[in-house]
Amino acid sequence: MRRLALLVPAVLCLAGSAPAQEWQIDGAHSAAQFSVRHLMVTTVRGQFGKISGSAVYDPANVAKSSIVAEVQVDSIDTREPKRDAHLKSADFFDAAKYPTVRFQSKSVEPGGAGRFKLIGDLTIRGVTRQVAFDVEGLATPIKDGRGGERTGATASTKISRKDFGMTWNRALEAGGVTVSDEVALMIDLELVRKLAAN
């Protein structure tokens, strides 16, 4: 996704009188994961290893906050090279033509008990659909000892892969299909911003 937009909900817990703050996704400590049913009997899981993104949060006007994020399709990993190659092919993500999956936020809806709903545009294979991520587990920001401040969150949603042009499948003799249409997405994010020197 040029960056992952799940940053805004995590940052919303930092409200105050400070000016707008910019946060970055720490790709080394974040993961964009997915799961899908295979042969109607089990679940296959995978992840995208390369994530980048940023969010601008304006504590004086949350409506002005924004987020954009991306993952690199070529970094997909399901622990099976042949399957990864198939997922990168035109049957699925078509990584050669569409090298990134992108998310850009449009609005944030606060929920209860540290939960948020993040609504925005998800673009896969050049097709853009509106999706809503449920975000929870917002961490209280801490200083990392390296001149920065960090927080984190987990976000999840479910999408239809057919909505994004990924229609490949194979019918089974006993009924059902090789790959389910529904795909579950889960994002674990660690966010960092550089603190001003005293």
pLDDT in tens, 146-197: 888 888 888 899 999 999 998 887 776 666 667 888 899 999 888 888 776 6
Q: What is the per-residue pLDDT across 136-147, written as a single tens digit (0 to 9) for each?
A: 876 677 888 888
Q: What is the per-residue pLDDT across 35-78, written as a single tens digit (0 to 9) for each?
A: 988 776 788 899 999 999 987 766 565 556 677 889 999 999 99
pTM summary value: 0.82
Whether 24 has a pLDDT exceeding 60, the answer reads yes
Predicted local distance difference test score (pLDDT) of residue 198: 55
| CA gap 30, 117 in Å, rounded | 19
**DSSP letter string, the chain:** ----TTHHHHHGGG-SSSPPEEEEE-GGG-EEEEEEEETTTEEEEEEES-EEEEEEE-TT-GGG-EEEEEEEGGGEE-S-HHHHHHHHSTTTT-TTT--EEEEEEEEEEE-STT-EEEEEEEEETTEEEEEEEEEE-PPPPEE-SSSEEEEEEEEEEEEEGGGGT-----B-TTSSBSEEEEEEEEEEEEEEEEPPP-
Predicted local distance difference test score (pLDDT) of residue 64: 64
